[in-house]
Chain A
């Protein structure tokens, strides 16, 4: 409690100067506790967190905490285990980041103190997570053993264990885990080809709805910003599986089922990611699997309205927050390039070459800048999205995912 009453940075605090003249005893008392406070929290910042974010340094098991206003790094937090394919979600107060590692590690990081608050290893092998609508539950999707585990956001205590066992008794890897309105988590079973909705309104008694036969090898999924449509991409066959969460009784419907039929696919050296929702003017932009194309879909009719030829096989297809531009990065061996698509003309307006191993892109909350991680040059580049010029470069060790705190207030991120 003492911490609450002691000023954090009190070197020249006017009230303390007054105390020095009148109440020197109290002053000494304050100084004493102030010193204790500052030594205990020497590195904690007193600021807001709305312009903060984390950069995953995947090979060194660390993250950098960065701020996007001055474009600087604030802290590095180590000891997070195997961060290949790591991702992050944020507490609704934007104070804490939850990092999901490949080795089953779930780490809670204090962004203001640059400190690992708590870390648990909750499975042998995992792939990502989500935070509930009310911010109280953090769910992790696991490969080994398959399934979803749900934890209390404050303590990381286990709340629920949702196995991913299909009708034949086989456990599945879980992909595409997102939060949805109504305190739900929605996720996809890779091996079994199922979508499941877990209602966590009563965390002690989760209610799980199962949708079978959605298609072969669903590799990832996304949810619309309003939390209505959940769409899983299929690797084993053509098209995507769509579930209307407002009308789950209608079941899963196939969209773009004819896309690419009879055409030879290219070998896929990196799975595309379905993250966020690249949408503009009622058009949805998605990475094509095994093709050098971005697909354009009418989000009212769910019909294909166009294909944009791009530099390589897309991995991330991300819309600037206003939807005017879509940025695309590519799979090995064409992963040195990023292309910018104008969503009005469906033309590529710029081809950038940030360097070999572009792994992720993250827009600032209102989209004036985008941060791009470049693995092989150990750097993160910041681009102005209007001039498309580079604004800054930050050193980072084998950077992969970049996540900004504005995600805290967006469904599905």
Chain B
């Protein structure tokens, strides 16, 4: 019985470590990121993320490709296109949270 509890605790600890890093972003920063997504990303991708000069960023447009690709695109931009690197303005953790938020359709 005790061994089982320890095992559960162990699994829990692992799960906490695997949980999205965004869990550490406070809600005020999350609100700022959603505002940035809507108004600043939105100037190219549309405020409703349906696309513009840049491609659409709706949940249906973001499936099937690895998380890392989108995080890298946000942080380092995409050469040959107007997508700028946001490194320096956004942390890696914040870029990850933004990709998750777009995948969930937060703020739509």
B77 → chain A, closest Cβ, in Å? 6
Which residues of chain A are within 8 angstroms of B43 by Cβ–Cβ distance?
Answer: 84-85, 270-271
Residue interface bits B28-50, CB-to-A below 8 A is 1, else 0 = 00000000001110111011101
Which residues of chain B are within 8 angstroms of A125 by Cβ–Cβ distance?
Answer: 46, 50-52
Q: How far is the CA of A82 from the CA of B52 in the complex (A)?
A: 12
B64 at the interface (CB under 8 A from A): no
Residue interface bits A346-375, CB-to-B below 8 A is 1, else 0 = 000000000001000000000000000001
Check if B40 sits within 8 Å of A219, measured CB to CB. Answer: no
Q: How far is the CA of A268 from the CA of B44 in the complex (A)?
A: 11
The stretch of B3-11, B12-20, B78-86, B91-99 in contact with A is B78-86
Check if B52 sits within 8 Å of A102, measured CB to CB. Answer: yes
Check if A268 sits within 8 Å of B89, measured CB to CB. Answer: no
Check if B46 sits within 8 Å of A268, measured CB to CB. Answer: no
A143 at the interface (CB under 8 A from B): yes
Which residues of chain A are within 8 angstroms of B42 by Cβ–Cβ distance?
Answer: 84
Check if A269 sits within 8 Å of B50, measured CB to CB. Answer: no
- Consensus secondary structure, chain B interface: loop
Give the contacting residue for B51; candidates A58, A144, A267, A271; CB below 8 A. Answer: A144
A127 at the interface (CB under 8 A from B): yes
Q: How far is the CA of A103 from the CA of B51 in the complex (A)?
A: 9
Which residues of chain B are within 8 angstroms of A219 by Cβ–Cβ distance?
Answer: 53, 82
A321 → chain B, closest Cβ, in Å? 27
Which A330-346 residues sit within 8 Å CB-CB of chain B?
332-333
B42 → chain A, closest Cβ, in Å? 6
Which residues of chain B are within 8 angstroms of A58 by Cβ–Cβ distance?
Answer: 47
Which residues of chain A are within 8 angstroms of B82 by Cβ–Cβ distance?
Answer: 217, 219, 235, 268, 271
Check if B77 sits within 8 Å of A267, measured CB to CB. Answer: yes
Which residues of chain B are within 8 angstroms of A103 by Cβ–Cβ distance?
Answer: 48, 50
Closest residue to B42 on the A side, CB-wise?
Answer: A84
A103 → chain B, closest Cβ, in Å? 7
Q: How far is the CA of A49 from the CA of B80 in the complex (A)?
A: 46
Using a Cβ–Cβ cut-off of 8 Å, how many residues does chain A contribute to the interface with B? 29
Which B65-105 residues sit within 8 Å CB-CB of chain A?
77, 80-82, 84-86, 89
Which residues of chain B are within 8 angstroms of A85 by Cβ–Cβ distance?
Answer: 43, 52
Closest residue to A217 on the B side, CB-wise?
Answer: B82
Which residues of chain A are within 8 angstroms of B52 by Cβ–Cβ distance?
Answer: 84-85, 102, 125, 127, 143
Check if A82 sits within 8 Å of B48, measured CB to CB. Answer: yes
Q: How far is the CA of A134 from the CA of B28 in the complex (A)?
A: 52
Q: How far is the CA of A82 from the CA of B38 in the complex (A)?
A: 12
Check if A271 sits within 8 Å of B44, measured CB to CB. Answer: yes
Which residues of chain B are within 8 angstroms of A127 by Cβ–Cβ distance?
Answer: 52-53
Which residues of chain B are within 8 angstroms of A357 by Cβ–Cβ distance?
Answer: 39
Tell me the A residues contacting B by CB distance below 8 Å.
Answer: 58-59, 82, 84-85, 102-103, 124-125, 127, 143-144, 173, 175, 190, 217, 219, 235-236, 267-271, 332-333, 357, 375, 398
10 A-B residue pairs with Cβ-Cβ distance under 8 Å, sorted by A, are A82-B47, A103-B48, A103-B50, A217-B82, A219-B82, A235-B82, A236-B80, A268-B84, A270-B43, A271-B53
List 11 additional A-B contacts (Cβ < 8 Å) besides A103-B50, A268-B82: A59-B47, A84-B52, A102-B46, A219-B82, A267-B84, A267-B85, A269-B84, A270-B40, A271-B43, A271-B44, A271-B82
> Ordered nearest first, which 10 A-B pairs have the shortest CB separation?
A267-B84, A84-B47, A332-B40, A82-B48, A267-B85, A268-B84, A84-B42, A270-B43, A269-B84, A235-B82
